[in-house]
Structure 1
Amino acid sequence: MSQAVTKLKALYADFLTVDVKSVADLYAESVVFRDPVHEVKGLQAMQAYFAGVCQNLSECRFEFDRVVGAGVWHSLWWVMHYRHPKLQGGKQLHLRGASLIQIDARDTQVVFHEDVYDLGAMVYEQVPLLGTVIRHVKGRLGDSGGENG
């Protein structure tokens, strides 16, 4: 397995214990990171992103179950286990997602990282009234995909 992928999996094993040095060990100075909420450019911005995301979480860890790689591009499928005091009373929640990463030619640092996940499932569906409405709409959309769909 790629050195950079191995380092990434270790870094995200417990997101709340990550220190700035380990972020700099994995991500290149010119890294670009994207997810459904953020676009971060550069190592300093990436370090600030890590610090900011962790502030309100009481748990955040990633369990990787599939890695597919070819050359400098890799796709990592994961389940994020997280707790936020304002979502579902602080209960542990789970979110399925994937990361697309590009590593440098030396296989030491990540130069591009994009996370793909359902933001609604992560946040909006966990808010009591809003979550009920979203799940109802999803159910209705799912019903419309039948034989006559």
Structure 2
Amino acid sequence: MPDTRTTRLVDAYTQLTRDNLPALLALYAENARFKDPFNDVRGHAAIGRVFTQMFEELREPRFTVQVSASEGDNAFLTWELHFLRERGEAMVIRGATHIRYSPNGLVQLHRDYWDAAEELYAKLPVLGALMRALRRRLATPQPG
């Protein structure tokens, strides 16, 4: 069951736009760490740049949160990032996040876990075909 800190954070992510990014950052400690498969940054300014870049590179990005839970100063979220490709094709990246809160209730650590190979690279035309071929070659044979 999520606590009020986590509920506020989930609400901020599901309502996130370029204009209300400062409201999301206000939930993070000034020296918070944000880490995902492409970034490892500290502080409001650097975290803000990660999200600003997302809004610049993706069309209509929006988050949905499927599961959120809290225990002590830790929270766990599963989420989907929905956006449109250049030609208008809908895309979804699925992932999970570990949150650790500081004693004053702000996010101290935000660590995203998602498989860039499956969720992003495999959906690109040329690289995707290569990734699927590699996956088939490396997969454990199934009986039957």
TM band (smaller chain): 0.7 to 0.9
Cα contact 1:33–1:112 (8 A) shared by 2: yes
1:7 is matched with 8
Matched residue pairs, number?
Answer: 142
Q: 1:120 aligns with which of 114, 117, 138?
A: 117
* Percent of paired sites with the same residue: 27
Q: 2:142 aligns with which of 133, 146, 149?
A: 146
Aligned letter for 2:14?
A
The two structures have a TM-score, normalised by structure 1, of 0.84
CA distance in 2, matches of 1:57, 1:21: 19
Structure 1: unaligned runs, 5 residues or longer: none
CA distance in 2, matches of 1:40, 1:118: 19
CA RMSD in angstroms comes to 1.9
Cα contact 1:23–1:47 (8 A) shared by 2: no
Q: Deviations over 1:40-83 (max 9, x none)?
A: 10112112222122102112122211223210011111122122
Q: How does 1:17-56 map to 2 (within 5 A)?
A: 17-56=18-57
The two structures have a TM-score, normalised by structure 2, of 0.86
Aligned letter for 1:119?
A
Which deviates further from its counterpart, 37-46 or 62-71?
Answer: 62-71
Q: 2:97 aligns with which of 93, 96, 99?
A: 99
Structure 2: unaligned runs, 5 residues or longer: none
Cα contact 2:18–2:52 (8 A) shared by 1: no
Aligned letter for 1:113?
H
Q: Where does structure 1 differ by over 3 angstroms across 4 or more consecutive aligned residues?
A: 14-18
| CA shift for structure 1 position 121 | 2.7
Work out whether 1:111 is the aligned partner of 2:108: yes
Aligned letter for 1:141?
L
| CA shift for structure 1 position 22 | 0.6
Cα contact 2:95–2:114 (8 A) shared by 1: yes
Aligned letter for 1:49?
V
2:132 is matched with 135
Cα contact 2:63–2:80 (8 A) shared by 1: yes
